[in-house]
């Protein structure tokens, strides 16, 4: 029973930190025609150089798992950019005072926030048809991000973000 409770808590914690992805694509595009890719030449992700390398490492591994190979003359260009934002922590402790007397109820309550705001990273992945120079597929992924995490933890975070982003490629029509 104790193991079940620990497993349940673990599942709840892990499920709250998974990246959320939204996909969009050109419905007229035949995605089976794409076999190769290249990272966009003027890539400006908005991340530092070390995180850029971590992100590109994850991206290249995932693209190769999707049967896309790097090329000097690619079918697709890949562009990635990021945005950091903060949301207030939704956890709070409620305090209330109430009273009743002769069919009259009075109550006052309020919430005290726990912790500070949470930092999120929004990464946008664009796949651009190299011949037509048109955006054909896009994923936007929002994920909690800890700027104080260890390098290993950051790599794991980027691996999860990229895997979630490319989960929707190629699109199922």
What are the strands, taking DSSP E only, across 15-156? Answer: 20-25, 36-39, 69-70, 76-87, 92-101, 104-113, 118-129, 134-144
160: region left, alpha or beta (phi > 0 left; psi from -120 to 50 alpha): alpha
Position 104 in a domain: no
Number of domains in the chain: 1
pLDDT band at 154 (very low <50, low <70, confident <90, very high): very high
Position 96 in a domain: no
pLDDT band at 44 (very low <50, low <70, confident <90, very high): confident
Assess whether pLDDT exceeds 50 at residue 13.
no
Position 35 in a domain: no
Assess whether pLDDT exceeds 90 at residue 163.
yes
Give the Cα separation of 35 and 37 in Å (integer): 7
Position 153 in a domain: yes
Residue 144 lies in domain:
49-88+116-173
Helix (H, G, I), strand (E, B) or coil at 16: helix
- Mean pLDDT across the stretch 147-155? 94
Burial class (CB in 10 A: 0-12, 13-18, 19+), 157: buried
Prediction pTM value? 0.74
- Tell me what percent of the residues of the chain surpass a pLDDT of 90: 60
Position 79 in a domain: yes
Position 150 in a domain: yes
Position 99 in a domain: no
- CATH code (residue 137): 3.30.160.670
Note the pLDDT tens digit of each residue in 88-100: 666 666 666 556 6
Position 10 in a domain: no
């Amino acid at each position: 029973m104790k193991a079940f409770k620990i497993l349940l808590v673990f599942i709840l914690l892990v499920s709250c930190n998974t990246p959320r992805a939204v996909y969009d694509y050109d419905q007229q595009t035949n995605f089976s025609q794409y076999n190769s890719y290249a990272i966009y030449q003027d890539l400006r992700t908005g991340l530092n150089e070390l995180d850029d390398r971590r992100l590109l490492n994850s991206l290249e591994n995932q693209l190769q798992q999707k049967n896309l190979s790097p090329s000097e003359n690619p079918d697709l260009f890949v562009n990635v950019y990021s945005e950091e934002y903060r949301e207030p922590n939704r956890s709070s402790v409620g305090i209330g005072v109430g009273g009743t007397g002769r069919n009259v109820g009075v109550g006052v309550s309020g919430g005290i926030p726990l912790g500070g705001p949470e930092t999120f990273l929004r990464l946008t992945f664009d796949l651009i048809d190299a011949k037509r120079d048109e955006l054909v597929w896009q994923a936007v992924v929002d994920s909690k991000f800890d700027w104080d995490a260890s390098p290993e933890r950051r790599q794991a975070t980027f691996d999860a973000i990229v895997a979630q982003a490319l989960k929707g490629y190629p699109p199922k029509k």
